[in-house]
Structure 1
């Protein structure tokens, strides 16, 4: 029997270690999956992602969509107008210092129960860790990483990195015909602090981005003759200026 951690227990783990892994069955309970009534459509939307045209090297097949939200002092979640994703070269040496415009997550899904509940969970978990942050800038990214015969997929082509935010929530949606894709967590000196693999739907990685770096190893297809992909939702939380 799996014992579900409380939010306070997860916060204590993040304070102590800078990261945490949560199994999918536990996350489902913490998210109250019964309230996420658009989940089938939300999960299916990964089949409608657009190619990432900003990849710095050819042969890396990644699809994605993006949406931006804000959360004010009262905890009210608001979807913002479509805008670019920006990272500095310090945090993304491959694609930094440029405004990257990705296809938006559809308004119906961005305003739907699943995505909003996931964001609310992240806010309830992370905000008490930074009580001086009154306004939050939240970005949501749908990613599909594909692998094929003789060609691995790269979830983090920039390597071990920081996202340049305060906190990161990575949620596995699906993986088909995929092996590897191990998440690694690193200290400032590059030392390995921990590793785990998101293998089941709703398996989650929680990261204090200011304290630790993270990366994901390349994914390969079990059967090269069949389609292979790894689908994740990444939600980042950053103190708004």
Structure 2
């Protein structure tokens, strides 16, 4: 960790529901994230090869080639996890000024990842956190495995800037970092002066956000060393009550 980096203020797993309710944000280390989900960390790490087979994002309005991703949708109702028919990802311009209003058809997640037992446990645990925050109900879930790389010399995890997603709960897992600098996470109160900044480095560490209360962004990445090629892999999962955006 460089001298300029801020360490993540990790919590214990049993403090997450309270932190989300009181402050709108909670952080878990990789080991605690796995324990919170109820799986060995090795089972989460076994999903990592899927990030090597993501598809290029053809919708970047800045013309960049630095983002690869997939996208699949689910409904989680209690213990039931259902994969939904493949659909476009859509956000209103109020939440994504750069790419809002577009139907973006990304390649679906690979079946082997969707069918992994750790995957359904991960979605159930996130749905339980959303229910603790908002009350029990079915949750409409969109999952986005991302790779941001330094193909263009700089990669932008959030080219739209600081934003909300228009959902109830946002989960950002830092899956892996390789040969980069930057990629600082920043979280701000949507209607207040407070904010936090930190750099996630621990594989499968988890940032949970109450999307009604906070806005978030990640700073650009650059290769380190400067003549190398690096990347930052994340898994973003959003949960929304009442239906998918755009329905």
Fold agreement, TM-score > 0.5: yes
Correspondence 1:144 to 2:150 = no
Aligned residues of 2:34 and 2:44 also touching (Cα < 8 A): no
1:57 offset after TM fit, Å?
Answer: 0.7
8 Å Cα contact 2:55-2:68 kept in structure 1: yes
Structural mapping, 1:50-129, within 5 Å: 50-72=55-77, 74-129=78-133
Question: Offset at 1:83?
Answer: 0.7
In 2, are the aligned partners of 1:71 and 1:137 still within 8 Å (CA)?
yes
SS at match of 2:70: strand
* Contact preservation (8 Å) 1:145, 1:154: yes
1:34 to 22, 31, 40: 40
1:1-241 to 2 correspondences below 5 Å: 5-7=12-14, 9-34=15-40, 37=43, 39-40=45-46, 42-72=47-77, 74-131=78-135, 134-148=137-151, 151-189=153-191, 191-241=193-243
Please list the CA deviations of residues 167-196 of structure 1 after superposition, one character each: whole Å capped at 9, or x if unmatched.
001001111001111111112357342112
Measure how far apart 1:38 and its partner are.
Answer: 7.3
Question: How far apart, CA to CA, are the structure 2 residues paired with 1:219 and 1:110?
Answer: 28
- Tell me how far apart the structure 2 counterparts of residues 191 and 114 of structure 1 sit (CA, whole Å): 38
Normalized per residue, which structure has more strand? 1
The gaps in structure 2 that reach 5 residues or longer are 1-9
Instruction: Answer yes or no: is the 8 Å Cα contact 1:184–1:192 preserved in 2.
Output: no
| Off by >6 Å, runs of 4+ in structure 1 | none
Query: In the comparison of the two structures, how many residue pairs are matched?
Result: 234
**Counterparts of 1:204 and 1:115, CA distance in 2:** 15
Q: Any unmatched runs of 5+ in structure 1?
A: none
- Write the distance in 2 (CA, Å) between the matches of 1:164 and 1:38: 27
Instruction: State the alpha-carbon separation in 2 of the partners of residues 95 and 195 from structure 1.
Output: 25
Root mean square deviation of aligned Cα: 2.0
